[in-house]
Amino acid sequence: MRLPRPGVTALPADPEPLLPNACFVWLAAALALAMLPHLLLHLPAWFWLVFSGMVTWRGLVCTGRLRLPSRWPLSGLTLLIISLVALQYKTLFGRDAGTALLAAMVSLKFLELRTLRDGMVLLFMGYLLVMAVLLYDQSLLLAAGLTLVLAGLLAAHAALQYPATLPALALLRLSCRLLVEAVPVMLILFILFPRIPGPLWGLPKDAYRGLTGMSEEMAPGSVSRLSLSAEVAFRARFTGAMPPAGQLYWRGPVLDRFDGRTWRRSEERLYRQFSYRTEGEAVDYTVILEPHGQRWLPALDLPASLPSETEVSATFQLVRRQPVQEVLRYEMRSYPYYNTGPLQLQGQTQLPAGIDPRARALADEWRSRPLAPGEIVLAALNLFRREPFHYTLEPPLLPEQNSIDAFLFDTRRGFCEHYAGSFVFLLRAAGIPARVVLGYQGGEHNGLGGYLIVRQSDAHAWAEVWLEGQGWVRVDPTAAVAPERVERGLYAALDDPDSLPLLARRGQTWLQPLILGWDYLDNAWNEWVLAYGPEQQKQWLSGLGFGPVDWQDMVLAMVAALTGVGLVVIGLQALSRRTATDPVALAYRRFCAKLARAGLVRAGHEGPLAFTGRVAVSRPELAARVRLIGRLYASLRYGPRQEQEAVRRLQRLVRKLKV
Amino acid sequence: MPVPPSNIVSLDQHARLDTVVAQVGTAILGKEHAIRLALACLLARGHLLIEDLPGMGKTILAHAFAQTLGLHYQRIQFTSDLLPADILGAAIYERQQGTFVFHPGPIFAQVVLADEINRATPKTQSALLEAMEEHQVTVEGETRDLPSPFFVIATQNPIDQVGTFPLPESQLDRFLMRIELGYPDVAAERVLLQGRDRRELLAQFPVCLPPAELMAIQSVVSTIHAAPALLDYLQGLLAFSRQSGLFRNGLSPRAGLALLRAARAWVLLDRREHVLPEDIQTVLPAVVGHRLHPADAYLEQSSSALLEKLLRSVGVPA
């Protein structure tokens, strides 16, 4: 062991400080924390091996059992892992491959971890990892988890800043304090940073993959598949009383084109206003919509207001300009009673020719009896009611050809899309304008927050029929087969309810209070954090009494608020420093301030003679006076007595000093 | 400004102290700072540890001080077979008188040079260190006072560590200061090479400060004023050394006292009346260098860089 030497002789400049083992432990732990959500959410399993392998390698270097690889082997390893990523994702660009590359680089950086500076680089990569998680999920639970990860990273940061290893508890306390101290700044930035409609920068296309939601077409099986998911589609809060369950038809895509198997939406013009006659009271409510990657917005039958950036089609479907990629909050007004008047759209009886002869025959038979359009609707409903139809999530497979015939006359087991589709087919074959409406029906009331939770399992399909004098009328053929579906939800109505996920079994489990409580928190998070977009921002700030606010005002307000926080911090510091009212100290401070203005700043550790000696060297013309002040101050501050005369002399000298 | 009555060091004595420094400086060239530190250590009644390579002038320094101050000088070469009795002395049976007569060892001197102290066994080391601390020696149940003034200069070779017993920290603590001399600069070395033999030179040194006056000055050191503001600063340093985590252990209260004592002696050498933060800063590397150890040996940060950090981190309040 070499003994440390006292500082009498000069020493060579220190080399770049190495990363102490204790710091490595902190770094490895914090980075593992930051990596964990990626490993759990999306990275392929072999990444566990890559990351833990590199960290273990570096750990063995700490104990001296291994060496870090030199440049060429490391480059080879890097190339290998990059090609593995490319092989896995078939690309190196986009959200998934990009994040995987970041994770790979973080892992590899461990094999290059020598100095404190390398540690810092790794640490900032860790912060980047935390941000990248948000590309995948922005839920409340994840945000809470990421806060913990941040605390870990900050503790590691502190450990690197003070490599002499403060105790672990002190580092953690410091990181928590930093997090808490950051809250005001975070709030200001969150509330005031100007929001623009749409994302701030273009995200790669695959960033939105995996959003679940209802697509704008319907084929056998498409709705029942969705019904197996308990994920929340949207939540709604009513301003007044909630309408009865039988009226909770959340209108989505309206499908009026049929090709024999799939129902689609016809491209139609969009309007900025509604044209129908309302009857009765309006229902006002707020929808907090989970991102579904589509352009349509759910609204109760029939919508009467347009959220921003949104238009309405001739089929009363709300269509947004941009697909919904983030949580969206909008206010709506609907009228449950309405009359849409005369038929304005063409092609509402369109059917492909030559398919499903048995269904057509039945419709022709009704028409030739002859039955009025209203009576044909009843006849079709009676068909579902009388014959042995079953409501099930797992219907038998239907043939590609003549699937409507197969369902109506052979299998007779189906989900709402089967009933809605075949019902509309029958009516169209009978010459009555009809169409399929996709959407959600019902929802679960959360007493805790007073709002309605609508899950994917509430997805539904029904029919709309145009009748002379009444306009478009909603008819739900599923209700004819399983009336409970509308009144009490899917779980109560199904013949095979056990295939439903737990969360979708409304009110049927002892877990229900817990589920609803959590949903309440989740909704608050959605409503106040994720859905805080341009409109909410403007509304909120205008509500504070600022009148109309544009983004320049917001930038101004943000800068002002941040400046305010800064001033408060500076003020608090100055207050704690300026506690002494000792005249000698004050005079000396004034003296130092005068010199500081001339660029001669006293270092914190400089004593009076050292400081004045330094000043005397750099400003020879001041030397005599400055040295005198230094000696006088030193004797007043460090001598046995303070004589009033000497104090006054010091004050005089400082006052007269011109720098 | 009137000089406080307790601070009686006459102008004459101040001048003589300067002469001491100058005269020793002719023996050890170009090392004025180290010489002043060593003198301050002596004035503060402390003992000195010099850590340096052989041939740097450790012996010359000790000898020069003894000669200049008119003190009785003894050199003890420490070896692994040195026994405590070889230092302290022993009672030997005198046949003619029929009694045990005490034969004092080489420690009964005023300036003792303990050369290569880390070569002796811990038992022998501790005999010396106990004598240093107590200023007395107990042999065969009888306690004998050591002469006064009593000044031990111990040397350690930092590199050759084979077969040595490095002093444990508790023993290092007994030394007020640890310094190293280091190589002379080019000019000083040229003068050294041109000049006369050092030993001849030493033999001709006149006594500049008689022992009685030296002891008078020593007694003045502890009366030099240390203001509350100065103690605040000193305590700030102590607290930082304990809380920063830079060092394995913080400075002990004894180290704080040592700092203050050394700084007072330095003030006296500098002809001033009260201790300033600068004085603490000047003596700090020599006083605490051997008492502090880096918390993380892996850091390989030299201890002097850490001391620099310690000094820079603690502010002098206005």
**To the nearest whole percent, how much of chain A has pLDDT over 90?**
33
- How many CB pairs below 8 Å do chains A and B form together? 135
In the listed set B197, B218, B239, which residue is the last one of a domain according to the structure? B218
In the listed set B180, B198, B218, which residue is the last one of a domain according to the structure? B218
Residues B302 and A11: their CA atoms lie apart, in Å, by: 9
Q: Are residues B146 and B204 in the same domain?
A: yes
Shortest Cα–Cα distance, A594 to chain B (Å): 14
Q: State the number of CA atoms in the 13 A half-sphere of A130 facing the CB.
A: 22
Q: Are residues B248 and B145 in the same domain?
A: no
What CATH number does the domain containing B170 carry?
3.40.50.300
Q: Is the pLDDT of residue A506 over 70?
A: no
Cβ contacts of B69 within 8 Å, gap of 6 or more: B20, B42, B111, B207, B208, B209, B210, B211, B214
Residues A298 and A250: their CA atoms lie apart, in Å, by: 6
Residue B18 inside a domain? The answer is yes
Shortest Cα–Cα distance, A603 to chain B (Å): 8
How does pLDDT run across B123-141, given as a tens digit for each residue? 888 888 888 888 888 887 8
Q: Which one of A2, A3, A612 makes the best mutation probe of the B interface by having the most chain B beta carbons within 10 Å?
A: A3
Q: Are residues B244 and B182 in the same domain?
A: no
Q: Is the pLDDT of residue B258 over 90?
A: yes
CA A108: distance to chain centroid? 29
Residue B152 inside a domain? The answer is yes
Q: Which one of B162, B284, B300 makes the best mutation probe of the A interface by having the most chain A beta carbons within 10 Å?
A: B300
| Rg of the Cα atoms in chain B | 20
Q: Are residues B90 and B162 in the same domain?
A: yes
| Per-residue model confidence (pLDDT) at position A197 | 65
Residues B65 and B42: their CA atoms lie apart, in Å, by: 10
Q: Respond yes or no: is residue A460 known to be catalytic.
A: yes
Residues A458 and A444: their CA atoms lie apart, in Å, by: 9
How does pLDDT run across B181-194, given as a tens digit for each residue? 888 888 888 888 88
Residue A580: pLDDT band (50, 70, 90) is: low
| Per-residue model confidence (pLDDT) at position A53 | 94
Residue B44 inside a domain? The answer is yes
Q: Write the DSSP symbol of residue B153.
A: E
For chain A, helix, strand, coil in percent to 5 are 50, 15, 35
Average model confidence (pLDDT) across chain A:
85
Residue A535: pLDDT band (50, 70, 90) is: confident
| Per-residue model confidence (pLDDT) at position B192 | 86
Average model confidence (pLDDT) across chain B:
86
Of B34, B244, B302, the CB nearest to A164: B244
How does pLDDT run across B14-25, given as a tens digit for each residue? 888 999 999 999
In what helix (H) or strand (E) does residue B27 lie, and over which residues does it extend? helix B11-27
A604 has a chain B CB within 8 A of its CB: yes
The whole-number average pLDDT for the span A265-292 is 87
The reply to whether omega before B104 is within 30° of 0 (cis) is: no
Q: Write the DSSP symbol of residue A301.
A: S
What CATH number does the domain containing B283 carry?
1.10.8.80
The whole-number average pLDDT for the span A105-134 is 93
B256 has a chain A CB within 8 A of its CB: no
| Per-residue model confidence (pLDDT) at position A507 | 60
Residue B3 inside a domain? The answer is no
Residue B5 inside a domain? The answer is no
| Per-residue model confidence (pLDDT) at position B294 | 81
| Per-residue model confidence (pLDDT) at position A439 | 92
Q: Is the pLDDT of residue B96 over 50?
A: yes
The residues that bridge with B151 in the sheet, in sequence order, are: B111
Q: Is the pLDDT of residue A630 over 60?
A: yes
Residue B1 inside a domain? The answer is no
Q: Are residues B260 and B205 in the same domain?
A: no
Q: Is the pLDDT of residue A104 over 90?
A: yes
Q: Which of A1-15, A358-372, A632-646 comes out lowest in average pLDDT?
A: A1-15
Q: Are A613 and A627 in contact (CB under 8 A)?
A: yes
How open is the CA angle A446-A452-A456, to the nearest 5 degrees?
110
The reply to whether omega before A291 is within 30° of 0 (cis) is: no
Q: Is the pLDDT of residue A9 over 50?
A: no
Q: Is the pLDDT of residue A340 over 50?
A: yes
Q: With the C-alpha atoms ordered A367, A372, A373, A376, is the resulting torsion angle positive or negative? A: negative
Q: Is the pLDDT of residue A592 over 80?
A: yes
Residue A555's CB is within 10 A of a number of other CB atoms, namely: 13
| Per-residue model confidence (pLDDT) at position B300 | 54
Q: Do B315 and A604 touch (CB under 8 A)?
A: yes
- State which residue of chain B sits closest to A168, comparing Cα positions: B245
Q: Which two tokens mark A572?
A: 């608090």
| ipTM surpasses 0.90 | no
| Per-residue model confidence (pLDDT) at position B160 | 64
Q: Are residues B246 and B166 in the same domain?
A: no
Q: Do B276 and A605 touch (CB under 8 A)?
A: no
Q: Are residues B38 and B181 in the same domain?
A: yes
Q: Are residues B201 and B57 in the same domain?
A: yes
Residue A198: pLDDT band (50, 70, 90) is: low
Q: Is the pLDDT of residue A335 over 70?
A: yes
Q: Are residues B231 and B214 in the same domain?
A: no
Q: Is the pLDDT of residue A62 over 60?
A: yes
| Per-residue model confidence (pLDDT) at position A235 | 92
| Per-residue model confidence (pLDDT) at position B5 | 42
| Per-residue model confidence (pLDDT) at position A8 | 39
**To the nearest whole percent, how much of chain A has pLDDT over 70?**
92
Q: Which two tokens mark A247?
A: 């009226």
The whole-number average pLDDT for the span A445-473 is 88
Q: Are residues B50 and B176 in the same domain?
A: yes
The whole-number average pLDDT for the span B106-131 is 89
Chain B residues whose CB is inside 8 A of the A22 CB are 296
Residues B130 and B170: their CA atoms lie apart, in Å, by: 12
A637 has a chain B CB within 8 A of its CB: yes
Instruction: Please tell me which residue, A492 or A608, carries the higher pLDDT value.
Output: A608
| Per-residue model confidence (pLDDT) at position B169 | 78
The whole-number average pLDDT for the span A122-151 is 92
| Per-residue model confidence (pLDDT) at position A12 | 46
Residue B193 inside a domain? The answer is yes
| Per-residue model confidence (pLDDT) at position B275 | 93
How does pLDDT run across B301-314, given as a tens digit for each residue? 677 788 888 888 88
Residue A5: pLDDT band (50, 70, 90) is: very low
A578 has a chain B CB within 8 A of its CB: no
- Taking alpha carbons only, the member of A140, A142, A137, A145 closest to residue A208 is A137
> Given the structure tokens 């830079």, which residue do they identify?
B246
| Per-residue model confidence (pLDDT) at position A166 | 65
Q: Are residues B238 and B210 in the same domain?
A: no
Rounded to 10 deg, the angle between the B253-269 and B228-243 helix axes is 140
Which one from A416, A418, A522, A592 is the annotated catalytic residue? Answer: A416
Residue B202 inside a domain? The answer is yes
Q: Are B49 and B178 in contact (CB under 8 A)?
A: yes
Q: Which of A2-11, A75-84, A340-349 comes out lowest in average pLDDT?
A: A2-11
Q: Are residues B148 and B107 in the same domain?
A: yes
Q: How many residues does this entry show for chain B?
A: 318
Q: Is the pLDDT of residue A412 over 90?
A: no
Q: Which two tokens mark A220?
A: 């056998």
Q: How many residues does this entry show for chain A?
A: 659
Shortest Cα–Cα distance, A44 to chain B (Å): 37
Q: Are A96 and A89 in contact (CB under 8 A)?
A: yes
Chain B residues whose CB is inside 8 A of the A162 CB are 245
**To the nearest whole percent, how much of chain B has pLDDT over 70?**
94
- State which residue of chain B sits closest to A18, comparing Cα positions: B299
The whole-number average pLDDT for the span A588-595 is 89
Shortest Cα–Cα distance, B19 to chain A (Å): 23
Q: Is the pLDDT of residue A432 over 80?
A: yes
| Per-residue model confidence (pLDDT) at position B308 | 87
CA B52: distance to chain centroid? 14
Which one from A476, A519, A522, A592 is the annotated catalytic residue? Answer: A476
Count of domains observed in chain B: 2
Shortest Cα–Cα distance, B59 to chain A (Å): 19
In the listed set B198, B218, B238, which residue is the last one of a domain according to the structure? B218
Cβ contacts of A9 within 8 Å, gap of 6 or more: B180, B182
- State which residue of chain A sits closest to B166, comparing Cα positions: A3
Residues B105 and B140: their CA atoms lie apart, in Å, by: 14
State the residue range of the domain holding B198: 11-218
Q: Respond yes or no: is residue A416 known to be catalytic.
A: yes
